[in-house]
Chains A and B, each alone.
Chain A
Amino acid sequence: MNANYELPLEDAGYSFGFLDEYAKKEVRRCILKAISIPGYQTPYASREMPMGRGFGTGGLQLTLSLIGEDDTLKVIDQGSDDSVNAVNLRQFVQLTCPGVEVTEKTQEATLIQSRHRIPEKQLTEQQILVLQVPYPDALVVVEPSEARRKVMHGEADYSRLLVKLYEDVVRFDEITISHRYPTRINGHYVIDPSPIPRWDVPRLHQSPALVLLGAGREKKIYAVPPYTLAEPLVFDDIAFRVEDFRDANGKRIACRCCGSTVSFLDELIDDAGNVTHQCSDSAYCEEEQETISARKQA
């Protein structure tokens, strides 16, 4: 080892979008493939990002490969723009993509990266939603071998997954899958739609916005293209059900901040031990509150 060696300190500057251009191009090629085969898990050479695997490195690579200087980015985690991980990712994009605007308002964003939620506000054809994915394969619960899962996907053989649902109904009278609900895209591939709640699954169906899903650690990209079928896997005679936010009397619980009765709620326990509820989508909640106060003033 050379004792006189000096670190090239000027090397610390990063190119736009952190990744080298070859890497970004490859990711974009895989995105195109994923859109062309709706729901198919396209393998790609996921790069190491400067945050942990599992913290959204898959989503981030999609975002960084797609983003340009004229884009407006919104990053949310658990529905909130201000959660630690969302802040972290947004700061990183700001650091490595000079010129990119960031926003908290869903309608202003051209690109939305999210973990575990789809914004409450209806997305448009002008927007791309990037979802971070820890487990890309819905079949992993019934088949550990990736090679065998690939064959099952190819043949659209999801009987073992349905058997799991069958066993659920037998044992609990209910399908117990809470989030990551297996969803069939365009009538063939079943995807793991990332850990979004069941509440968000119907919003994948015929979505005007392109939805891209990126798994960094598992090195897969898949897509729900605009206006594509996205159907949760169920039996003909057992309906798919989203989360139930009714109280003991069957009344729909309202957000304690904006009073909304149509949004996905976070359950909170305050210091006194009382359970209260609040919109999980913080931007939506704030906008509702603003509308209400504007109405009051008027």
Chain B
Amino acid sequence: MNAILTIENYAKTFCLHERNKLIPSASHVNLSVYPGKLTALIGPTGAGKSSVLKGVYRTYLPSAGRMLFRTAAGEVVDLAQADEHRMLELRKSEIGFVTQFLHCLPRKSALDVVAEPLFARGVPTEEARGRAADLLAQLAVPSHLWNVPPATFSGGEKQRVNLARGLIAQPRLLLLDEPTASLDPATTERVVAHLETLKGSGIAMLAIFHHPDLVRRLADSVIELSPPVAIVEPEKEIA
């Protein structure tokens, strides 16, 4: 089977100009992600797990390596080099990212926050809201909250809205950064079930979980990262 994402020798180093410091966050990362499979990243804090996800999403500009993504059209794109407009296009239609934090406009209802990725793809408003409602119900967000802006929600409620928003568009590649971090066991169970369904439908996933249990249950392959070696002598020309 063809990998949807192949990472070759990814490395990320931050250059803090102010303090004249180079801070490595990941290095020598190699992995592949396949349709319908979940690749889990494990390793101690500081090993660069999030760095890999952000590199794939291009929230970080990779310092080295290639990230070959196979598009729906069968084209292979190096996400490390892709044009910004191309990246925006892929984010809209093929690559989803569920982070731990919810960024959204303060007065938008939970339903519209979740439905937004569908709006962006041109799904009619009512249909998009319907699908958002289904998903929120599945994730046990009480229906009286659906028309309220999530700003006032509890941490767990926010996280579920965030998840729903990340999952709704069913991208071909889903990046998950501790998606169940602040959820109670019952809700975690619902999320896991849903992720299994998505996997079953062929979605490829690259994920970080804070619980080894979840890795065992969901991962088809596991990549262990170790912290990169600290750079003692800052090299100015590295950006």
A and B, direct touch (CB closer than 8 Å): no
- Which residues of A line the B interface, CB within 8 A? none
